[in-house]
Chains A and B, each alone.
Chain A
Amino acid sequence: MILWQLFSAFFKIGLFTIGGGYAMLALIQQEIVSRGWMTPQEFVDVVGIAEVTPGPIAINSATFVGFRTGGIPGALSASLAVVLPSLICVMIVSRMWEKYKSAHVVQSMFAGIRPVVAGLVAAAAVLIATPTLKYAEGIASQLLTLVIAAAAFYAVGVKKFDPIKVIAGAALVGILIFR
């Protein structure tokens, strides 16, 4: 039963992906390629698509693989399966957090975690910038990417513009200027 196989495979992927983002790609590849649902080359294409489409890469690949193997029911089965562990785990963690968040030890813990989040977000900017600049073709494209990045930083970080409008503007600039 393909729908159930998709569901159980993506439930497992959802459950064992901690830290978000690209950490899970190896696991997805292992599950999907070993079952013969996709070739390694097709998987690379899916990652490429996931990078340029909105939404978490886990959902993107679940929908894509589910659709390829089981049509629209397959896409829905895989996509819901990959988020179900999140729903369950967040409900448990959230209940514990609401209960204990006023305890001194939990407050100290989060006073330590908040600066960590700031550092991790700064690191994410570097980790996203590196491959983006590396794969931009030619010095002109790299410079242009940096200029757009700086403009977006100024618009959202300093001038408090709506990020949605900034993304739409960057897409327009890309269409007009990139070669």
Chain B
Amino acid sequence: MQKQSTSLWKLFSVFFRIGAFTFGGGLAMLPLIEREVVDVRGWVGKDEILDIVALSQSVPGAIAVNSSIFIGLRLRGVIGAIAAMLGTITPSIFIILIIAHFFTQFQSNPILMRAFSGIKGAVIGLVAAAALRAGKNAVVNRYGLVVAACAFFLSVFGVLPIVWIIILGGLSGIVYFRAKGGVA
């Protein structure tokens, strides 16, 4: 655990960058967070990031904000959590303040609208890339494949709220690994 070694400014600036490039909400930021936090800085392990995402989806609030609080808290305690959280939300606050000021010009600017059309396409690909990566890390046997497929269909067809899908997955893990006699 590298407590104290990460500066608050580093936490703020890394999450500022994540916040500034999170389009499409929620899980679209996962590839970015994974790259910055897992690959580049090694603040969090590959499996742990999936746990943090699951926990972030199970408590109130936006996933991007919640996961930044989790990671900040782990690296530098409460003050780190606040630094990471402020980093995540500062870009949106600035951008919305500017837009709220120039609302009508913004809506009718064709160049911006075309740029966003391109970004929307990329977001689909980014989320698919996050799914591929999460699948590689988490789906290691037939049980995992069945659980992932169930979660996929329950969510796509809007059968259950996401929190309930996560809770069911947790219960299935408890039942399955008890029958099997342990996780490893």
Contacts and interface: CB of A to CB of B under 8 A. Distances in A.
A57 B62 contact: yes
Q: Looking at chain A, what size class is its interface with the partner chain? A: 35 or more
A2 interface: no
A37 interface: no
Interface string A42-64: 00010011111111111110011
A119 B149 contact: yes
Interface in A111-150: 111-129, 132, 136, 141, 144-150
A154 B125 CA distance: 8
Given A110-B173, A146-B121, A157-B132, A63 B96 contact: yes
B128 A115 contact: no
Which of B19, B123, B168, B170 counts the most chain A CB atoms within 10 A? B123
Given A114-B138, A148-B121, A94 B73 contact: yes
Contacts of A108: 173-174, 176-178, 183
Contacts of A40: none
A107 B17 CA distance: 32
A79 interface: yes
B25 A115 contact: no
A114 B116 contact: no
Given A141-B117, A156-B126, A104 B96 contact: no
A164 B126 CA distance: 10
A149 B117 contact: no
Interface string A146-168: 11111111111100101110110
B62 A58 contact: yes
A68 B166 CA distance: 37
Nearest to A52: B116
Given A85-B60, A120-B162, A112 B169 contact: yes
Nearest to B149: A119
Given A90-B61, A149-B122, 18 more contacts: A20-B57, A51-B25, A64-B99, A67-B96, A75-B100, A79-B89, A93-B55, A110-B170, A118-B134, A118-B137, A119-B151, A122-B131, A122-B134, A123-B152, A132-B120, A144-B121, A170-B122, A173-B118
